[in-house]
Amino acid sequence: MKYIVATHNKGKKAELERILNAVGIEVMTADEAGFVYDEPEETGTTFAENAYIKAKAACECCNMPAIADDSGLCVDYLDGAPGVYTARWAGPECNSGTNIDKLLRELDGVPHEKRGAQFVCSMCCVFPDGRVIEAECDCEGFIATERVGEGGFGYDPVFLMPDGRGFAEVSPEIKDEVSHRGKAIKLLAQKLAEMEK
């Protein structure tokens, strides 16, 4: 069975595709399937709600099963912010760079032991018949005092794993093993495989 991936983010699509293809789940974007998919406004108050909103919109657009995620960074010192506003934290015209700049400013002078953070990923698959499969996982770590590494996307350059390595420093394969999205995609894939038995 083929699934639509409800994203225009190339980094996210590549990560989803790499992990799902490895377990025999074929994915494509709506554009690749010949549809025009406009990402809906994320009006949910949780990652799970936003993932569902995106998956449902893509499923309705393409009349195919659709997989979406909503992921975010929750920083302990900031009482869980940026949370569901992770992608647009620095304002409506922000990008990864401006979001990271704001995060580093907010944590300027905060000691390492108070820079704890979690990446959270909620995955959702919506089928044309109305079935919904969900999975959510997180990844604990810390926020660096400056950007480290050249890989990854989003907040990866400032997210340190407990062992001190940054998400932007490790290979995609290592990141897939420990990241919030890697774990959530694998859990969703397992649920989809069980459903197809």
pLDDT digits (tens, 9 = 90+) for 163-186: 999 999 999 888 888 999 889 999
* Mean predicted confidence (pLDDT) in 131-144: 98
- In the chain, DSSP assigns E strands to 2-5, 26-29, 66-75, 116-126, 132-143, 159-160
What is the pLDDT at residue 77?
Answer: 98
CB 37 within 8 A of CB 28: no
pLDDT in tens, 98-126: 999 999 999 999 999 999 999 999 999 99
Residues in contact with 34: Cβ distance below 8 Å, sequence separation at least 6, in sequence order? none
May I ask the CATH class of domain 2-196?
Answer: alpha beta
69 is catalytic: no
Q: Residues 127-154: what's their mean pLDDT? A: 95
26-50: pLDDT as tens digits: 999 888 888 888 889 999 999 999 9
Instruction: Determine the average pLDDT of the residues in 130-153.
Output: 95
Q: Which pLDDT value is given to residue 24? A: 81
Q: Where are the domains of the chain?
A: 2-196
Would you state the pLDDT for residue 193? 83
Question: 184, 86, 66, 183: which is closest to 143 by C-alpha?
Answer: 86
In contact, 124 and 134? CB cutoff 8 Å: yes
SS3 184: helix
pLDDT digits (tens, 9 = 90+) for 76-98: 999 999 999 998 999 989 999 99
| 12-16, 77-81, 83-87, 131-135: range with lowest mean pLDDT | 12-16
Point out the catalytic residue in the list 69, 70, 138, 156: 70
189 three-state secondary structure: helix
